[in-house]
């Protein structure tokens, strides 16, 4: 295809704005947790827009929501685009939803131009990408790609004890189509960067070459509960002070793996907590990330050594449970080249970048040829109510997605030409 295609930027921005009203927070963000009433409404609106665009809509057994634009060869494996509509508890307006609605705008733009592609084009909004309600994150795409069984996924429970299967039924989101064994020609995902690199470099498009490795752990620290007013400090086995000591030592140890090694302690829980009781049991989460699996092995060893040493010094019990791993994942060179070619022909500034966050594309990359398109986000903020993106960047990223997907799907003709 020699002719460049372009989207309708104001139409896409309007769709993003309307979707952001569902679950809108007072701080300007969005709370649309997976398989809640807000998520149901978001799914319903997206499905309505897809049907308006002439697409066929369905859900699979884990609630992944699909929409299909037919190609000239209906037997061909489809070119798939997507992301997610669920958010963090205090999330933003672009994380995930940009990729879903950018994909919809691709289809609308193809319709506007009368483009017929050989291969069908499909969009998917993946279930529970954020992992804010059900663990693990990227659950729907994990089942789709065979990284997790359907039964395991359906049995996962949220903090209130509700299973994913029960939540699917409550949202009327459980479909009958098989979730696994589906043929896919390629997968493309557009996303905000969720970090500061593109904005700091004044770059419009990130051509994503792959995703870094991620490992999640729960660290359980056990001491002895005792009265806050009658137990001298030297006799205490305080699990919270022990956990705090571990946190500082973990930060110090991980500095040896800078600048690429990253560590985050995102959640802390004190069991049976009381203002005047010494903490007996504390659990905190650890998120380790590095682009290299071997370096992540070394970071895990340091984590375990630090926690054991602090526990021994303070007379505390320590258990570390490994929750989840996502290995370093390179994207398909041919799909990455399609993104890079679209960027060059559109004449946008660009750079190669490794994704620091987990995305559904990471699971899909182990299932079919995959690539991603990044755009900057304002101040590098994401997982934050203040998350924002500029309209011109939103449009640019979607123009890249449009032309890369059209090239992969093989444009046969322009009916309106």
CB contact at 8 A, 124 and 65: yes
Is position 86 annotated in a ligand binding site? no
Q: How far is the C-alpha of 38 from the C-alpha of 31, rounded, in Å?
A: 8
CB contact at 8 A, 195 and 380: yes
Q: What φ, ψ does residue 92 adopt, rounded to 5°?
A: -110, -175
CB contact at 8 A, 217 and 233: no
User: In terms of C-beta density within 10 A (0-12 exposed, 13-18 middle, 19 or more buried), how is residue 85 classed?
Assistant: buried
Is position 191 annotated in a ligand binding site? yes
Q: How far is the C-alpha of 278 from the C-alpha of 316, rounded, in Å?
A: 13
- What are 350's two structure tokens? 């660009």
User: In terms of C-beta density within 10 A (0-12 exposed, 13-18 middle, 19 or more buried), how is residue 260 classed?
Assistant: middle
Give the per-residue SS3 of 43-94.
Answer: HHHHHHHHHHCCCEEEEECCCCEEEEECCCCCCCCCEEEEECCCCCCCECCC
Q: How far is the C-alpha of 326 from the C-alpha of 116, rounded, in Å?
A: 37
Comparing CA positions, the residue from 12, 59, 55, 17 lying closest to residue 40 is: 59
User: In terms of C-beta density within 10 A (0-12 exposed, 13-18 middle, 19 or more buried), how is residue 26 classed?
Assistant: exposed
Is position 130 annotated in a ligand binding site? yes
Q: How far is the C-alpha of 362 from the C-alpha of 371, rounded, in Å?
A: 9
Is position 383 annotated in a ligand binding site? yes
Residue numbering of the annotated binding site: 84, 95, 130, 191, 383
Annotated binding site for Zn(2+): 84, 95, 130, 191, 383
């Amino acid at each position: 295809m020699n002719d460049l295609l372009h989207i309708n930027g104001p139409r896409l921005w309007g769709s993003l704005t309307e979707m952001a009203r569902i679950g809108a927070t007072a701080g300007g963000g969005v709370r649309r947790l997976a398989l809640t009433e807000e998520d149901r409404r978001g799914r319903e609106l997206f499905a309505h827009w897809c049907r308006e665009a002439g697409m066929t809509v369905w859900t699979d057994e884990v609630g992944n929501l699909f929409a299909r634009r037919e190609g000239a060869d209906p037997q061909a494996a489809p070119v798939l685009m997507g992301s997610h509509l669920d958010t963090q508890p205090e999330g933003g307006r672009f994380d995930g939803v940009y990729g879903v609605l950018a994909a919809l705008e691709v289809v609308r733009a193809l319709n506007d131009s009368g483009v017929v592609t050989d291969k069908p084009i499909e969009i998917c909004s993946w279930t529970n990408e954020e992992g804010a309600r059900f663990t693990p994150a990227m659950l729907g795409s994990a089942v789709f790609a065979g990284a997790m069984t359907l039964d395991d996924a359906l049995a996962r429970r949220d903090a209130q004890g509700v299973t994913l299967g029960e939540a699917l039924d409550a949202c009327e989101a459980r479909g009958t189509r098989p979730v696994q064994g589906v043929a896919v020609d390629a997968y493309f995902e557009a996303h905000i960067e969720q970090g500061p690199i593109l904005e700091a470099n004044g770059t419009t498009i990130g051509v994503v070459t792959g995703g870094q490795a991620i490992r999640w752990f729960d660290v359980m620290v056990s001491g002895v509960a005792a009265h806050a007013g009658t137990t001298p400090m030297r006799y205490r086995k305080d699990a919270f002070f022990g956990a705090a000591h571990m946190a500082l030592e973990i930060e110090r140890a991980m500095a040896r793996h800078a600048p690429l090694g990253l560590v985050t302690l995102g959640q802390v829980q004190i069991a049976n907590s009381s203002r005047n009781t010494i903490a007996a049991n504390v659990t905190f989460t650890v998120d380790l990330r590095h682009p290299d699996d071997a370096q992540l092995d070394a970071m895990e060893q340091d984590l375990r050594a630090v926690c054991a040493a602090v526990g021994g010094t303070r007379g505390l019990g320590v258990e570390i449970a490994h929750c989840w791993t996502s290995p370093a994942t390179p994207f398909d060179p041919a799909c990455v080249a399609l993104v890079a070619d679209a960027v060059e022909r559109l004449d946008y500034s660009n750079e190669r970048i490794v994704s620091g966050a987990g995305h559904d594309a990471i699971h899909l990359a182990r299932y079919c040829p995959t690539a991603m398109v990044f755009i900057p986000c304002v101040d590098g903020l994401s997982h934050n109510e203040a998350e924002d993106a500029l309209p011109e960047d939103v449009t640019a990223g979607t123009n890249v997605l449009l032309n890369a997907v059209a090239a992969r799907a093989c444009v046969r003709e322009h009916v309106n030409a």
